[in-house]
Amino acid sequence: MSPAEKASIVSGLTDAAYAMALAGVRHRYPDAPPREQFLRLALVTLGLDLALKAYPEIAALGLA
């Protein structure tokens, strides 16, 4: 398998994992606006510390 093929597989798996995480957030918070869902996804994927640094509004929304 070539490096390009391996990279393509890893990229596809990453996309799938991201899509599943987003689906989980949407399932748990179906009535949340899209921005809140995005911020909750950031918490799941980045962790609390990095998500707060990247998106300080998380603290103001009380998501942390």
pLDDT given at position 52: 95
9-59 pLDDT, tens digit each: 999 999 999 999 999 999 999 999 999 999 999 999 999 999 999 999 999
CA atoms within 13 A on the CB side of 23: 6
CA atoms within 13 A on the CB side of 6: 3
